[in-house]
Amino acid sequence: MKSVSIHTVGCKLNYSESSYISRQFTEKGVELKPFGEKTDIFILNTCTVTAQADRECRQLIRSVLRNNPDTFVVITGCYAQLRPNEIAEIDGVDLIFGSDDKFRIIDYLFGEQKDTLSCIDKKPSGKTDIIISSLNGGGFIGEAYSSDVDSRTRAFLKIQDGCDYNCSFCTIPLARGKSRSLALEKVIENAQKIIDYGYKEIILTGVNIGDYSDESGNTFFNLLCGLNKLNISRIRISSIEPNLLNADILNLVKTSDKFCNHFHIPLQSGSPEILNLMRRRYNVNLYEELINKISEIIPEAGIGVDVIIGFPGETDYHFNETYDFINSLTVSYLHVFSYSERPDTRSVGLPMKVSTFDKKVRSKKLRELSEVKKSSFYKINEGKYAEVLFETEKNGYIEGWTGNYVRTRIKADVKMENEIFKVKLLKSEGIKPVECEIIK
């Protein structure tokens, strides 16, 4: 039996696609092995959102080839889509597939035979086949969702791909193309498959999920209403643009017993001038009003915020605007990113680059603020009752998330894995997982 290992760098969307590709192989009788084990085929699903991601992908490829020079190496994903020649410079890479082409790797490797892996003989040194389709060719969108090949307890469900926004720092529209959505019926069908695999939580994923709109004109809200009818314990909306999170969605989350009261909403900057330079589709007032509306409609909601520091032109004054703005908001945690210049994006030409030193200082300050926000959010939840989906046992404890995204833990009892229990949250300790007790 031939074997394959598939490794992923990057976002939830990439993980859902790697899972889909893994299942394509197992359904063809190819053994799936964990990353690091010797295999006949190695597939890397890459990311290119930062220069660091590119570096990490190159290092991964080289380490696999060092440990197993005979493995047939296939590279796909966003980095492959945009800079295939850079990857092909690494001797030993056999095949490079673009973002949309990743769903055809299986057919290519099985070739005409269809029942045996006939196309996995190592290419001669320095020879790499590159298969990159243009992305905006016809609205193709590869479906993807977590499946039983995964060891996780929370499943990713791809609903949308690509993006029509043009944020000046972002390379994703270049790597994944225009916004396109899976038909609502297809999403529901895939969600049902996830439920049949035994998952208790579905996380909706894509590039700009709030911009969901299928060929029948179904909107993101329509899709949520459709998913709300399924027999699933929890549905979590992953990252959603602030200008796309409307009152209908908030009220559905409020009234539904399935949608998690947790929102992750990119802000990127709290400085009006920098937001403009970023070409984001909202201003700080809209963002503030949205956070206040969420606190009004769903007071117990967990709210996560993405923020980029070190964007060209960001002075101490602009950074302090961002810091003070976020500090004034009722949010629960931050994801802090350092600006990374990406080729062919609009911000490349902008003057006043921020030094690495200033980026480090600012990033540290915001991470500290995130800890303050998170620990006060955990404090507010002390003594509250919640439902927790427990994941896997670790060091005698088992951890899991509440619906509103409080990390909890309890002394492990194996039958708790992948089960939802009603708990009472006990004393919190900073940002450590909050101890809890089961409510019978």
Q: Which is nearer to ligand SF4, 241 or 314 (CB)?
A: 241
Question: Pairing relation of β-strands 160-161 and 180-181?
Answer: antiparallel
CB of 331 to ligand SF4, least distance (A): 19
Q: Which is nearer to ligand SF4, 91 or 164 (CB)?
A: 164
Q: Which is nearer to ligand SF4, 92 or 210 (CB)?
A: 210
CB of 117 to ligand SF4, least distance (A): 35
CB of 421 to ligand SF4, least distance (A): 35
Question: Pairing relation of β-strands 302-309 and 333-338?
Answer: parallel
User: Rounded to an integer, what distance in angstroms lies between the CA atom of residue 107 and that of residue 39?
Assistant: 19
Q: Which is nearer to ligand SF4, 108 or 165 (CB)?
A: 165
Spatial neighbors of 244 by CB under 8 A, at least 6 apart, are 208, 210, 211, 220
Q: Which is nearer to ligand SF4, 171 or 261 (CB)?
A: 171
CB of 176 to ligand SF4, least distance (A): 8
User: Rounded to an integer, what distance in angstroms lies between the CA atom of residue 236 and that of residue 127?
Assistant: 44
Q: Which is nearer to ligand SF4, 105 or 308 (CB)?
A: 308
CB of 98 to ligand SF4, least distance (A): 18
- Chain residues in the site for ligand SF4 (CB under 6 A): 163, 165, 167, 170, 172-173, 207-208, 241
User: Rounded to an integer, what distance in angstroms lies between the CA atom of residue 91 and that of residue 73?
Assistant: 10
Q: Which of 235, 241, 266 is nearest to 253 (CA)?
A: 235
Q: Which is nearer to ligand SF4, 173 or 310 (CB)?
A: 173
User: Rounded to an integer, what distance in angstroms lies between the CA atom of residue 73 and that of residue 71?
Assistant: 6
∠ Cα 84 86 89 (to 5°) = 105
Whether 305 contacts 327, CB under 8 Å? no
User: Rounded to an integer, what distance in angstroms lies between the CA atom of residue 327 and that of residue 435?
Assistant: 27
CB of 165 to ligand SF4, least distance (A): 4
CB of 241 to ligand SF4, least distance (A): 6
Q: Which is nearer to ligand SF4, 205 or 408 (CB)?
A: 205
CB of 239 to ligand SF4, least distance (A): 8
Q: Which is nearer to ligand SF4, 167 or 294 (CB)?
A: 167
Q: Which is nearer to ligand SF4, 168 or 375 (CB)?
A: 168
Residues facing residue 409 across a β-bridge = 399, 435
Report in angstroms the alpha-carbon separations of 291 from 183, 240, 296, 301, 328: 30, 13, 9, 10, 11
Report in angstroms the alpha-carbon separations of 247 from 67, 140, 171, 203: 53, 31, 30, 20
CB of 245 to ligand SF4, least distance (A): 13
CB of 136 to ligand SF4, least distance (A): 15
Q: Which of 177, 209, 354 is nearest to 269 (CA)?
A: 354
Whether 28 contacts 41, CB under 8 Å? no
Structure tokens at 102: 């990743």
Q: Which is nearer to ligand SF4, 208 or 218 (CB)?
A: 208
CB of 37 to ligand SF4, least distance (A): 34
